[in-house]
Amino acid sequence: MGEFDRLMRRLASHSTNWIALLALLTAPLAARAEDPVGSGHQLWKINTRHLSAYQPQVEELGQWTYSRFQDGQWTLSDAEDFDQGNEVPTCLIVHGSPASDEYVVGLTVDVFNHISEFLGPDKPIRIIVWSWPSDKMQASLIKDFRDQTIRSERQGFFLAHFLTDLRQSCPVMLVGYSMGSRTAVTGLHLIGGGQLPEIPKFEADHDGGKPIIGVLVAAAIDTNWLEVGQRYDKAVEQTSHFVVTVNNQDPILKRYPRLYGGKRSPQRAIGFLGIASQEKLASLKDRFTQIDITRIAGKSHDIRRITGSRVLLEEISQHTFDRLFGN
């Protein structure tokens, strides 16, 4: 039994209010710091925590920093070194929140080891974690989560530009986890010509590029936001395939309505219930897949419950890694 599961059982045996539950469930879990599996795989971090969290500026484009995990440690690098691996199929993961940079890099090593071991040495992959300003900034947890909905969405401006450059040379799988799903779908939405308040108009330096595979894991966005006429309605059409995981026992997403003022709010998370109306995405029905992960993930919001399950990875791989490697 993992630390997360022990925590869940402890919570279940006590009367705990929802704020305390959220605080405990989002507290950093201990992550292993071991070397990546397989010499052909790469692990990178793109850090934007020093850039504008609320008002992204065009002048900041390209000012993110690069780090690489090698020999058991993270080392600062640069765009030139990063570009040396630009022909390798790439998986870009946008993490959730609240999360310090230290916690994110530790968790990412765990996820990387799961995936690289699953793929084996014959399918070298470059995995990137997008480390955005997701530290807790508000005293009230619910106020902080609401604040993070703003920060995560604004990050989509930087991500859209990074993705546009990246896809010129390699196929890309974009994974948005928890609150990071807002960053992921915002980036895709902007690439598709969509606009959002307080975000500068996206102007691409390139047209087209290699295909992007979109994946939302435990996604903290409204169930209808991918539909035509809704907030991120350009996102799905920018991908060659789009996957949404669903877990109706996720303890964090169960409390998603709190973001809107209370449990009676009608808004629900897409990672909890799935896409509200698949009929409204009928024109893209061959482009997206929903995968119910409840039976394995259960009462867990931890991405490692998914990447650590070979059964789930094999099911998800049919629509993601297999496509990324051209199978």
**Amino acid letter for position 238:** Q
Angle, helix 3-12 to helix 18-25, in steps of 10 degrees: 170
Helix (H), strand (E) counts: the chain? 11, 9
Q: Tell me: pLDDT of 24 over 70.
A: no
**Which CATH number is 3-324 given?**
3.40.50
CA distance 189 to 227: 12
Quick one: which H or E segment has residue 176? strand 172-177
Q: Tell me: pLDDT of 13 over 60.
A: no
Return the bridge partners of 289, or none: 243
CA distance 212 to 176: 13
| Measured CA distances, 140 to 137, 219, 262 (Å) | 9, 22, 15
Indicate the range of 142-156, 195-209, 307-321 predicted with least confidence.
195-209
Domain regions of the chain by residue span: 3-324
Q: Is 164 exposed, middle or buried (0-12, 13-18, 19+ CB in 10 A)?
A: buried
Contact 244, 290 (CB under 8 A): yes
SS3 letters for 211-257? CEEEEEECCCCECCCCCCCCCCCCCHHHCCEEEEEECCCCCCHHHHH
Q: Tell me: pLDDT of 165 over 90.
A: yes
CA distance 107 to 130: 12
Structure tokens given for 228 = 């035509």
**Mean pLDDT, to the nearest integer, of 24-38?**
42
Token pair 């409840």 in the structure block, residue? 294
Q: How confident is the model at residue 4 (pLDDT cuts 50, 70, 90)?
A: very low
77: helix, coil or strand?
A: strand
Q: Tell me: pLDDT of 310 over 70.
A: yes
Sign of the C-alpha dihedral computed for residues 323, 325, 326 and 327 taken in this order: negative
Q: How confident is the model at residue 269 (pLDDT cuts 50, 70, 90)?
A: very high
Token pair 């630009």 in the structure block, residue? 86
**Mean pLDDT, to the nearest integer, of 6-29?**
38
SS3 letters for 256-281? HHHHHCCCCCCCCEHHHHCCCCHHHH
Contact 79, 68 (CB under 8 A): no
Return the bridge partners of 106, or none: none
DSSP, res 123: S
Contact 274, 248 (CB under 8 A): no
